[in-house]
Structure formats: C-alpha cells, structure tokens
Amino acid sequence: MTLKKWLTGSVWVASLLLATTASAATFKVAIGDAAGGTQYELGKVFAEQLKEKSGGSVTADLFPNSQLGDEQDTINDAAMGLLDFSILAINNITPFSPSVAVLTLPYVIQSLEDAKTLTQGEVGKELTEKTIRDAGVRIVGWSYSGFRVLTNSKRPVRSLDDLKGLIIRVPKNELMIAFYNALGVNPTPMAWNETFTALQQGVVDGQDNPYITISAMKFDEVQKYITPIRYLFSLEPLVMSEQVFQAQTPEVQAWILEAGQAATEYSYEYIQVTEDSIKQELQAAGMEIVELANNEQDWIDAATTKVWPAFYDSIGGKERLDAVLATLNR
Ligand code: MLT
C-alpha cells in the first residue's frame, strides 16, 4: 500500500470513529454519603440508565464518601464546570440558591407524598430554573431520603427541655441553625465530611439525618438515641453543571434528563421498601428510638412561629409559601 493510500484510509477511519463517538462521554458524579444510602442508589440507577439509553457511549462514574470534596464544595465546582454531577442533601444547596429553602422550611413537607408532589410538579420545575440561575447547576433527579431524625450520644430526648445543653451539629445552613435556635439551643455548623469524626471524638453530641443516611454513615457506632422528629424531609437532588449540560448534544441532554427521571422514580420506590428495615437494623445495633412528648407540637409551634417568618424574604415572600402549602391542600 502506498503512503498516500494508507493516509487516505486512516483519515477515513478516523472520521468514521469521530462521527460515531461524537456523543461519547464519561461523567464524574460526586456523592456526599457513603455507598449504601439513598444518594448512592440514585446515582447507581442514573448511571445504569444513562449507559443503557446511550447504548454504552455515555457513562457515569460514581465517587461516594465525599471523595471529590465536601457537598457544598461540589456545588461550586459544578457551577464552574470543573465537576459534571453531584448528589447532595438539599440543605447544602440552599446557601447557593436560597429559594430552594421553601422545601426545607420546617414542617412544610409532612410526608413522602408531599415531597413527590412538590419535586415532580410545578414547584420542582420552578426550583430547577432558579437553581440554574442562582447556583449554575441543573436539578436532573431527586432522591427521597426520609425525614431527618435527631440522634445523640447522651440521653433520650423527648422534649425541648431534654434537648437543652446538648451540642448538636448542623450543616452550614442558616435555616437549620435558626430551627435549633428556635428550640433553645445553639447548634454547631460543620461540614458533612467532618461529622462522623466530630461525633466519634465527642466534639459534638448529636446531629440529624435520615435513618438511611445514619445507617450508611455508620453513625450507630457513635450515637445511641434517636428522636424521630419530622421537621425536614430530606431531598437529595442529583445536580449537573449547567455549563457541562449546555456543552452536550441535544441527544445526550435528552438521555441525561430521562435517566434522571427514571432514577427519581426508583428512589421513590426504594425509600418505601427500605426505611423500615433500616430502622430495625439500627435498633438491633443498639440504638434506641424514643417517643416524643406532646406529639412534637412544641417543636412545630417553635418552628412555624419563629422560623417561618424569618425566611419569607429569602424564599420569595409569604405568598410563595402559601402557594406551596396550597399545592399540598393546606
Ligand atoms: C448534611 O447533614 O450535611 C447532609 O444531610 C448530609 C448528607 O448529604 O447526607
């Protein structure tokens, strides 16, 4: 074969390869929690679906356990286009996109159904647009992780009086700090990836997170009592860097959105079949679930009278909260 023929042939093969792999990509997905929690399950199904829909040309690698940075750092990285995806707790997005806080106002979401109605309806669409605008990331899926329950290593907490004097870790989130202030405690804001060690070393006595997260993070090894408060239903979105999204072909964008929706639907089923058994496992591991006095009413009153009004401005006004509550028929 002459050099000319060989070159022509090689150029042709290279062009063919380029054309067939124009949509090929491997994305990185940062995950705050360890494998085994709802965040990881969402990511796993998303990656499987993406691979299937793209015929294997688009894949996603998962990096659990904050390997790619603390949850709040991953939002920054994604906004700058340095990271493709992140799965993180919603409370770690609100500092960058305050209107999302409407989903984290204490006691607004009272059930899994409420969580689904808000995330998959008009409110969810509106939040996606605002999150792109304010934080540079697009919400492409949701994991439903259950209510955040309070754990501590010191004593059974049944009432607000029992809570006094405990050092509680909270995410660096103004609303959650305000919630504990309203309950009469001064919590300790701390990054998620420092929390286990802080609990282990007794730097803090307690924290709150869903049962599934407590189990995935092995908090049962360093915490004893669970108070099943229901102030915040933990939503953990899969977000994508908007810069990276816009750089994809329409075909890849469609696969991403479809895979995100499929993973969301899976997450909704997953929590329902998993949460009870996880709760039992935590009890079998030695954790004690205590009963709340007065059906949690003191906590609810403190939150709705002191915390809600302080956040009307950041969520877009009291009318917005009223509209969200009306969506939930309240
Ligand atoms: C937090 O407490 O910072 C988050 O809820 C942790 C998580 O992502 O599970």
Give, for ligand 1, the residue of 40, 73, 91 to mutate: max count of ligand atoms closer than 8 Å to Cβ.
91
Q: What is the pLDDT of residues 266-297, one digit of tens each?
A: 999 999 999 999 999 999 999 999 999 999 99
Largest CA distance in the chain: 89
The pLDDT value given to residue 43? 98
Exposure of 246 by Cβ count < 10 A (0-12 exposed, 13-18 middle, 19+ buried)? exposed
Q: Which residue is closest in CA terms to ligand 1's atom 8?
A: 89
Strand 225-227 versus strand 288-289 pairing type: parallel
| Chain segment 113-137, per-residue pLDDT in tens | 999 999 999 999 999 999 999 999 9
Average pLDDT over residues 13-21: 40
Res 3: pLDDT: 38
pLDDT of 1: 42
Task: Kindly tell me if the per-residue pLDDT of 13 is higher than 50.
Answer: no
Pairwise CA distance, residues 55 & 262, whole Å: 16
Residues with CB under 6 A from ligand 1: 32-33, 71, 88-89, 91-92, 171, 192, 209, 213
Residue 278: closest CA among 223, 213, 209, 196 = 213
pLDDT score of 22 more than 90: no
Q: What mean pLDDT comes out for the span 98-118?
A: 96
For a pocket test of ligand 1, which of 33, 209, 235 has the largest count of ligand atoms closer than 8 A to its C-beta? 209
Cα(262)–Cα(172) distance, rounded to whole angstroms? 31
The pLDDT confidence band at residue 99, using thresholds 50, 70 and 90, is confident
Neighbours of 161 (CB within 10 A): 11
What ipTM goes with this model?
Answer: 0.95
3-state secondary structure of 193: helix
Ligand 1 atom 5 nearest Cα: 89
8 Å CB contact between 150 and 215:
no
Q: Model confidence over 40-98: pLDDT tens digits?
A: 999 999 999 999 999 999 999 999 999 999 999 999 999 999 999 999 999 999 999 99
Q: What is the pLDDT of residue 240?
A: 98
Residue the block writes with tokens 């329409």: 250
Query: Alpha-carbon distance 271 to 286, whole Å?
Result: 22
> What's residue 14's pLDDT?
40
266 Cα–ligand 1 center, Å: 20
Q: From the alpha carbon of 234, which atom of ligand 1 is closest?
A: 5
Report whether pLDDT(6) > 70: no
Cα→Cα distances 9→4, 6, 17, 21, 166, Å: 9, 5, 12, 18, 73
> Tokens representing 132?
């792109």
151 pLDDT higher than 70: yes
Q: Which of 245, 273, 241, 271 is nearest to 119 (CA)?
A: 271
Tokens of 176: 């959650």
CB atoms within 10 A of CB 81: 15
Is the CB of residue 81 less than 8 Å from the CB of residue 119?
no
For residue 243, pLDDT over 80 is answered with: yes
Q: Do 39 and 33 form a contact (C-beta atoms < 8 A)?
A: yes
- Per DSSP, 115 falls in state H
Q: Give just the sign of the alpha carbon dihedral 282, 218, 266, 113.
A: positive
162-200 pLDDT, tens per residue?
999 999 999 999 999 999 999 999 999 999 999 999 999
The owner of tokens 């899976």 is 266
Average pLDDT, the chain: 93
The percent of residues in the chain predicted with pLDDT above 70, rounded, is 93
Give the pLDDT of residue 24. 86
Q: Can you give the pLDDT at residue 18?
A: 39
- Lookup result for tokens 């042939």: 9
Q: What's the count of helices (H) and strands (E) in the chain, helices before strands?
A: 14, 10
